[in-house]
Amino acid sequence: MTHELLDRALIEEATKKSGLIWVRGGGHPAHPGPGDEVPTRPLWHVWADGAAFLIGDGPGEQPLPGLADGGDAVVTVRSKDKGGRLVSWSARVTELTAGTPEWEAAVGELKGKRLNAPDGEAMPERWARECRLVRLEPTGATAPLPDGSLAQRPVPTSATTRQEIPAALPRLLLKRRKRR
């Protein structure tokens, strides 16, 4: 019993303090099959009422692949200070219905953490129309940390902004430093 309480406390403290968690959804529980494994993705979240809440799958929001209502997920939490892996835990996925008291409470928490929202105060109404709100509730003990690295190639995306730097940029930066 004591070990379970310590695991629960570790999960809660680590997840609450980290602004980013790594989530691997298991797909839909009614249709499991080979090759259905979804890659692990970094997702922003809010910890409230003993669970992690995620908003996404709408225009301009993070994707939530493999996080189906009633399914399972594995959550890995990193250290906010050093970025190293702290704990991994399994979760039960529940999708919340817009307008319910639990949905309203979760959106109230998420709204304060959403950075760069294009619509400000109209955000909750847009989330209700176009997005999914998912609750990841811990289901048990923590998973043992792996011995090796779990590094993977990034998921392909069109959001890449990396370009060659302009040839004049180093000169411009050096001039500013010399003037000071």
Mean pLDDT check: name the lowest of 77-91, 99-113, 166-180: 166-180
Domain 2-179 has CATH 3.90.870.10: no
Cβ–Cβ under 8 Å, residues 4 and 141: yes
* Pairing of β 51-56 and β 72-78: unpaired
So where are the chain's domains? Answer: 2-179
Q: Given pLDDT bands bounded at 50, 70 and 90, which one contains residue 32?
A: very low
Look at phi and psi of residue 28 and say left if phi exceeds 0, alpha if psi is from -120 to 50, else beta.
Answer: beta
Q: Are 34 and 42 in contact (CB under 8 A)?
A: no
Quickly state the pLDDT bin for 16 (edges 50, 70, 90).
Answer: very high
Decide which of 27 and 100 is more confident.
100
Whole-number pLDDT of residue 29: 47
pLDDT tens across 102-154, in order? Answer: 999 999 999 988 877 778 788 899 999 999 999 999 998 788 877 777 777 77
Q: Model-level pTM?
A: 0.77
* 95 burial level (CB within 10 Å; 0-12, 13-18, 19+): middle
Which tens digits make up the pLDDT trace of 155-167? 777 776 667 777 8
Sheet holding 72-78, edge to edge: 41-44, 20-25, 72-78, 85-96, 132-143, 51-56, 46-48
Q: Which regions of the chain does DSSP assign to beta strands (E)?
A: 20-25, 41-44, 46-48, 51-56, 72-78, 85-96, 132-143
